[in-house]
A and B are shown apart, each in its own frame.
Chain A
């Protein structure tokens, strides 16, 4: 009887122990990475983006923009239309990322009255003076499976909740130069499969920047970062981004995120 009790207790303990890990005990690093990469996405979402950028001397710059994000069969289109400050009002940036074919970017500067095609940005180029790269904006806190060799570290416990530690090392030199990163360490929420912290190193493997996702929300089907902070550890520059009025919009007009439309300035989305 004692032996049976012991076996039962041990089994229960082991079962509970495994359950408290969630799926961790059964998943490999690549499986976790795949789950993060294949996290549910929205066909369309819009929201107001508020940037606060601060430097090491206390200087602060603020930007606000309307962001429209559309995914059409894995092709991603993003439009960012600045609404403040006045000096860049109505400046619009448009990005089309295609699974097949060349990615394209455009910029509309009201003072030139023209939409200008931009060189396809290296994913490692910084976006408009922020600490976010173009890759950061387009990847939506996912790690492309083709770019990294993944491994799992010891789980992190934050506020009594257990998180995955997913680590990535860049696969080759070309990707390293393109992304601007050699490696990352991330803390992944097992419930939402969303990173809550990401620490990047630069191409020389020196600490580069730290991203903290402070708030996530489910918008439509998909978890989305609503409030996050990126700190450049080398320049001590910080970018804080807060989304307001973020909403799921499945039936955005076709052609809304097109270069022709960009020339009309900030689109009017009802309710925003």
Chain B
């Protein structure tokens, strides 16, 4: 009973907090509008239907309809705002992903097994020349590499579709404040997210729920299930407290022919480590907890032109990376130094082909510990693309893979602009490698996918 009351009051508090924030933004916007002309700068609505057939059994794995809208509003000469709303409905094996690890004010407005309505961005911005202040639900996209996170770890991201999103990473906005300015020739960017929301994961039973032991703390979940016990994932609800906030700073400056930046931020890791909430008891599902522990990220980026090419580099140092380790007690946890280095190149190849290649080294100083993953991971991404018919047709092929574990995914894609409003896409996500690898774990769900997007 006490638990029920606690749940109800928590819900009320959460709703109240959410409503308070939204109401404050609306009231403030209205107040500002009294001092200037409020105009809609731009509006965009898109409807996207996406489906995928499993290549093994031809089953419809993905069937999702998404409605997105973006509205940019000019409130006055120096104030503007943006509201993005997203609605999804799906009846498939991929699912819509979990939201248990979203902080209260970040949770969807409507959320059930078949549909979801979310406020994906909502902020107001004050700008004067090179200085801006953004208050509200927003993202902090740092880093220079494409779709691979070395220093770009401030924002939580969606993983319900694994890495198979049109834009990678697909960021989840959080409530916070961001201030940017220029001091002499230095660009300064500070961000504070008072929002403990973490990366969205697929739910148990969904297509892209991870089974690789590198993500399950060394636990082979299938073995647990075969032992006759169910598994439940429990996530302590993140809050908007200081303890669950993320704060960071980035300073940037030109360096030679290129641009460099230095980054530092601290906050809960957006990816979980696992612990037992309750141990194996006969007849009772095992409860696993997803924990999001605080860590510090120090990083640097550099990108430069080199003739016709672009070279990009990122370095990240995490002195206190939380991780699961293999020990006598399952799902043991520890902290270790972690270093990541990423290099990328953009090359305009002959015959109008564009090639992007990136490699990331991810090293954990294991000392005497047994890790659930290799001490050093080497990831490779390779993309080649060319457009035809005056950029109406785009042909693209991508390889993402783990060099040290020999698993990966090959993704050929065709994207066609039928007209100014309709875009059609189709592709194959073909996964290969060891079934315990980060890519190979999903090799049985290799698929043929297609999408149609109408934007107006």
Contact = CB atoms under 8 A, between A and B. Distances in A.
B305 interface: yes
A261 to B, nearest CB: 8
Judged by DSSP, the binding face of B is strand
Contact of A102 (B72, B257, B391, B453): B257
Interface in A90-125: 90, 101-102, 104, 110-114, 116-122, 125
B108 to A, nearest CB: 21
Most buried by B among A114, A255, A264: A114
A114 B141 contact: yes
B226 interface: no
Given A61-B420, A112-B141, A260 B130 contact: yes
Contacts of B308: 119-120, 122
A114 B154 CA distance: 14
Q: How large is the interface on A (under 10, 10 to 19, 20 to 34, 35 or more residues)?
A: 35 or more
Contacts of A113: 139, 141, 171
A260 B129 contact: no
A85 interface: yes
Given A102-B257, A129-B391, A83 B42 contact: yes
A110 B310 CA distance: 21
14 contacts: A61-B392, A62-B420, A86-B44, A87-B44, A117-B303, A117-B310, A118-B310, A119-B309, A119-B348, A120-B305, A125-B348, A129-B392, A255-B182, A264-B127
B310 A89 contact: no
Q: Which 4 A-B pairs have the closest CB atoms?
A: A129-B391, A87-B455, A85-B420, A113-B141
Interface in B369-401: 387, 389-392
B187 interface: yes
B455 A86 contact: yes
A61 to B, nearest CB: 5
Interface residues of B, number: 50
Contacts of A90: 42, 72
B132 interface: yes
A237 B310 contact: no
Nearest to B42: A89
Contact of B132 (A85, A112, A121, A264): A264
A118 B346 contact: yes
Interface of B: 41-46, 70, 72, 74, 127, 129-130, 132, 139, 141, 144, 146, 166-167, 171, 180, 182, 187, 257, 259, 303, 305, 307-310, 312, 346-348, 352, 354, 387, 389-392, 417, 419-421, 423, 453, 455-456
A131 interface: yes
Contacts of A48: none
Contacts of B45: 86
Nearest to A259: B259
Contacts of A255: 129-130, 182
Contacts of B354: 119
A269 interface: no
B421 A87 contact: yes
A135 B46 CA distance: 34
B389 A260 contact: no
Contacts of A86: 43-46, 421, 455-456
Given A129-B387, A129-B390, A260 B187 contact: yes
A237 B72 CA distance: 34
Contacts of B347: 119
A264 B127 CA distance: 10
Nearest to B181: A260
Given A119-B348, A125-B352, A130 B310 contact: no
A238 to B, nearest CB: 10
B72 A265 contact: yes
A179 to B, nearest CB: 14
Given A255-B182, A260-B180, 5 more contacts: A53-B390, A85-B455, A86-B421, A89-B42, A110-B70
A271 interface: no
Contacts, number: 99
Contacts of A110: 70
Contacts of B44: 86-87, 89
A130 B417 CA distance: 14
B415 to A, nearest CB: 12
B232 to A, nearest CB: 35
A53 B390 CA distance: 9
A59 B46 contact: no
Interface string A16-29: 00000000000000
Most buried by B among A130, A253, A264: A264
Given A86-B455, A111-B167, A113-B139, A55 B390 contact: yes
Nearest to A54: B390
B305 A102 contact: yes
A126 interface: yes
A158 interface: no
Contacts of A119: 305, 308-310, 346-348, 354
A128 interface: yes
Contacts of B307: 120
A253 B129 contact: yes
B182 A112 contact: no
Contacts of A126: 390-391
Given A86-B456, A87-B421, A119-B308, A260 B182 contact: yes
A69 to B, nearest CB: 21
A86 B347 CA distance: 29
Nearest to B257: A102
B151 to A, nearest CB: 12
B67 to A, nearest CB: 14
A89 B455 CA distance: 11
A131 B390 contact: yes
A268 interface: yes
Nearest to B305: A102
Most buried by B among A55, A85, A101, A259: A85
Interface in A25-83: 53, 55, 59, 61-62, 83
A90 B130 CA distance: 19
A74 B420 CA distance: 36
Nearest to B147: A112
Contacts of A117: 144, 259, 303, 305, 310, 312, 346
Contacts of A125: 348, 352
A130 B389 CA distance: 10
